Amino acid sequence: MTLLTVENLKTYFHTDFGLVKAVDGVSYEINEGEIVGIVGESGCGKSVTQLSTLQLITSPPGMIEDGKVIFDGRNLLDYPANGPEMRSIRGGKIAMIFQEPMTSLNPTLSVFQQISEMLSLHLQMDKETQRKRAIELLTQVGIPDAKRRIDDYPHQFSGGMRQRVMIAMALSCNPKLLIADEPTTAVDVTTQAQLLLLMQNLVRQYHTSLIIVTHNLGVVARYAQRIYVMYAGRIVESGSCDDIFNQPKHPYTIGLLKCVPRLDEEEDRRLVPIEGLPPNLINMPPTCAFLPRCPYKIDRCREEPWPALKPVGNQQVACYVDTKLTVQ
């Protein structure tokens, strides 16, 4: 069952320097109980896409220009950004976890106050039940001695613990979809492993869907079932994790996989970097944004606009070149 379908989403920023097409025609979907990874480098629009689905873009300068976000059979973009419908969906049906656990928790409120805020808003619980539920949640996300720590303030927790609190808050109203935006970038690897495993288990337990937004290909390889690779505001490749990691087809995906060091690599392996710089999104040309850095480019790439996603094997790829023939 499809839970969320995003169709042709476009979010533009009108800046003093020109038009920035941060999200430019992005479509994706997520099924119930599925873990999906959205991968890309900074500035590729992966976070803006997620914020747009919840209409959390600061406007101006940001504007959702076009597209549909269909959730539970309703188009979320039909609702006003600050209306009651959107508010009940945010946190209630769709919850988000951000990268910086330090700044995403309010430092002046205790953990219980912050969780109870969510519970009373979305589930109309009374204080007694709220407290029980909050302790239960904190225990579930692995906070030792939750009963005592529930009245502590965010600064009394370590970075990893704060992120656990964030996860508890996100799960507090049994959301159908959890969006984790770079959830483990700010924490150490052993903590990252703990947190991701925790999220994986909770998602299975509650049959919640999970979108992991990250730049870390390893994280996606370990946890996600399907992935979307984004570059310069568009999805350039999508498919199941197995297919994409075994046989990447878009030049950017191929480049990404070749340029990161692997823990299990042969000695003296030379990395193959993606040459050049990530594109500047201001006033982009209509051609493929990866063109200047692409090692496989053909004449057609220069002449025609950015290709749409089309099926290649089991994947969807936005490229004119059959990379399989050109390289491997």
Partner 1 sequence: MLKRRKRELKFVEGRPQESEWKRFIRVFFGRRIVLFGLIVVALYIIVAIFAPWIAPYDYKTISSTILSQPSAEHWLGTDTVGRDVLSRLIFGVRPTLIVGSVTILIAAVAGTILGLLAGYFGGWIQTIIMRFIDALMGFPMILLALLIASLLGGGLKNIVIALGIALIAGFARVMCAQTLTIKENDYIIAGRSLGLTNFRLMWKHIIPNAFPPMIILATMNIGMVILMEAGLSFLGVGIQQPDAAWGSMVSAGYNRLTSNPALSVAPGIAIMLIVFSLNMVGDGLRDALDPRLRGTL
Partner 2 sequence: MDNTLLEVKNLKMYFPVTRGLLRRKIAEVKAVDNVSFHVKTGETLGLVGETGCGKTTTGRCILRLYRPTAGQIIFEGREISHLKDRQIRLIRRKMPLIFQDPYGSLDPRQSAGSIVGEPIQFHKLVLNKNDLKERVASLFRMVGLDPNMVNRVPHEFSGGQRQRIGIARALACEPSMIVCDEPISALDVSIQSQIINLLEDLQKQFKGLSYIFIAHDLSVVRHISDRVAVMYLGRIVELTESKKLYDNPLHPYTQALISAVPIPDRRVEKQRQQIILKGEVPSPLSPPSGCHFHPRCPIASPECSEIIPALNDVGDGHEVACIKVQ
Q: How many residues bind partner 2 (CB under 8 A)?
A: 48
Q: Within 13 Å, how many C-alpha atoms sit on residue 274's CB side?
A: 22
263 binds, among partner 1, partner 2, none (CB under 5 to 8 A by kind): partner 2
160 binds partner 2 (CB under 8 A): yes
188 binds partner 2 (CB under 8 A): yes
Restricted to residues 215-274, the positions that interact with partner 2 (CB under 8 A) are: 215-222, 241-242, 245-246, 255-257, 259-265, 267, 269-274
Alpha helices in 105-213 (DSSP H): 111-123, 127-140, 146-149, 159-171, 189-206
Secondary structure of 103-117 in the HEC alphabet? HHCCCCCCHHHHHHH
How many angstroms separate the CA atoms of 150 and 134, rounded? Answer: 8
16 binds, among partner 1, partner 2, none (CB under 5 to 8 A by kind): partner 1
Smallest distance, partner 1 to C-beta of residue 43, A: 9
What tokens does 253 get? 């995906």
121 binds partner 2 (CB under 8 A): no
End-to-end CA distance of the chain: 37
126 binds partner 2 (CB under 8 A): no
Smallest distance, partner 2 to C-beta of residue 239, A: 11
Query: 3 with 176: CB under 8 angstroms?
Result: yes
Instruction: Give contact residues for partner 1 (rule: CB under 8 A).
Output: 15-17, 277, 280, 282
- The dihedral over CA atoms of 288, 294, 296, 298, expressed in degrees to the nearest 10, equals 40
The binding site for partner 2 (CB under 8 A) comprises 41-42, 144, 158-161, 188-194, 197, 215-222, 241-242, 245-246, 255-257, 259-265, 267, 269-275, 277-278, 293
